[in-house]
Amino acid sequence: MSADWNDDNTTILTELFVQQVRAGNRPDKHLTQNAYEEVAKDFKVRTGLEYTKLQLKNKWDKLKTDYSNFKKLKLKETGGGWDYERNTIKQDVEWWKKAKIDIPSCGKFRKRGLQNENNLSIMFADITSDGTDHWNPASGTIPQSSSATSVFNVDDIQDVDLEETQTGESHADGKGKRLGRYVDGNNKKPKTSLVIQEQITRVGDIAERTQSSFESYMKKEESSSITSVMDLVVECGAIVGSDEYFIASELFVKREQREMFLHMTESAAHLDWLRRKYNTKYGH
């Protein structure tokens, strides 16, 4: 039978998926086969519908795509605002046309935002990427030492001039320094492979130290960001121990949730958003 993924059935399915994820039955990007079987059995109990593991897996993949696209879409939003009634971005037609070029199929979110977002976050947040977690200064990622050595074929380099900061291996040549050259006994062609290899090794060491420093910085920034957002939670009226404070402590371990909260500018909107999030998840 063909699957009927109406709103109610989809919500029930995501709840069952979340149970399996929290039980540790998602070792990689999918649930285990046994987990899909459990979901199918529980889904039949709650809905009376009997779906195959393949149908459930296909729906999992579709939900993951929707979740990833909605994350990317929210990161593209600048200045338009948020439509709280429809739970989506408030932008004009031209903006949406351009967005669909970069994010195919995102047009479905124009009239209604992502449904069951909290459940999908639990299912997919740690196995999807929006491309913002990688440092890319000056349009180039930090190289690892292993990749740096693969860029050059050192035997093809005939001659290299360096600035006066190079010492110990060179002969004076006016303004700059010329690296000492090594001669291959077979064809008498001057080589600089050993010197270049030393430079590559040095670049690799610098890259490793830079990457380590950056990762440490990002961890501190992450911790600081959570602290700052939780301070705003208290400032907007969500006292410690309240439902709003509780749901904030669950949501704001996720960066995209913190970004959405910070996107709002009024305390009343902050508090109302937290209250809605709590009611949506816990039904009070």
Instruction: Give residue-wise pLDDT tens across range 196-240.
Output: 777 777 777 777 766 665 555 555 455 447 888 888 888 888 888
Together in a domain, 219 and 91: no
* Domain annotation covers residue 177: no
Together in a domain, 98 and 216: no
With a pLDDT cut of 70, the percent of the chain lying above it is 68
User: Quick one: the chain helix, strand, coil %, rounded to 5?
Assistant: 60, 5, 35
Lowest-pLDDT range, 110-119, 137-146, 211-220, 241-250?
Answer: 137-146
* Domain annotation covers residue 97: yes
Residue 131 DSSP code: S
Together in a domain, 148 and 256: yes
Together in a domain, 29 and 75: yes
* Domain annotation covers residue 185: no
| Axis-axis angle for helices 243-251, 255-263 (nearest 10) | 130
Q: Which pLDDT score, from 0 to 100, does residue 225 have?
A: 78
pLDDT at 34 over 90: yes
* Domain annotation covers residue 167: no
For 237-265, what is the mean pLDDT?
85
Together in a domain, 209 and 74: no
pLDDT at 8 over 90: yes
Together in a domain, 101 and 203: no
Phi-psi region of 49 (alpha: psi -120 to 50; beta: other; left: phi over 0): beta
Average pLDDT value for the chain? 75
Q: Tell which of 124, 147, 179 closes a domain.
A: 124
Together in a domain, 145 and 219: yes
Together in a domain, 61 and 120: yes
Together in a domain, 235 and 103: no
Q: Which pLDDT score, from 0 to 100, does residue 219 have?
A: 52
Domain count, the chain: 2
Q: CA 156, CA 227: separation in Å to the nearest integer?
A: 53
Domain that holds residue 120: 7-124
* Domain annotation covers residue 41: yes
* Domain annotation covers residue 183: no
Together in a domain, 55 and 105: yes
* Domain annotation covers residue 175: no
pLDDT at 17 over 80: yes
Assign 92 a pLDDT band (cuts: 50, 70, 90).
Answer: confident
